[in-house]
Amino acid sequence: MMRDLYLHRDSERGMAGTFDWLVDEVEELGDALNGSDKEELEKEFADVIAWLASLANITGVDLEIAAVAKYNHKCPKCGCSPCECTF
């Protein structure tokens, strides 16, 4: 969905600029976490995953494939589900 909506703009902006936007959105999410507006919090979560997807699109990474490759229903460190790491 983000590819359809924004790839043309994300490609123009480029990797560094898109990463900077992601960092800004994470900061805004941090601010929303300290507030009490649930709707605002949900919007900030939406923005972070949106910008993360934009960044993935312009770097040729499929976010879902990458996530499932590392976290495939088990913890990549202990191999258990749920995670049983003791550290």
Contacting positions for a second copy (CB under 8 A): 1-2, 4-9, 15-16, 19, 22-23, 26, 29-30, 33, 38, 41-43, 45-50, 52, 55-56, 59-61, 63, 65-67, 69-71, 73-75, 81-83, 85
* Burial class of residue 37 (count of CB atoms within 10 Å of its CB; 0-12, 13-18, 19+): exposed
The least CB distance from residue 87 to a second copy, in Å, is: 10
Least Å distance, CB 37 to a second copy, is 12
DSSP state of 24: H
> Least distance from C-beta 18 to a second copy, angstroms?
9
Residue 41 CB-density burial (10 A; 0-12 exposed, 13-18 middle, 19+ buried): middle
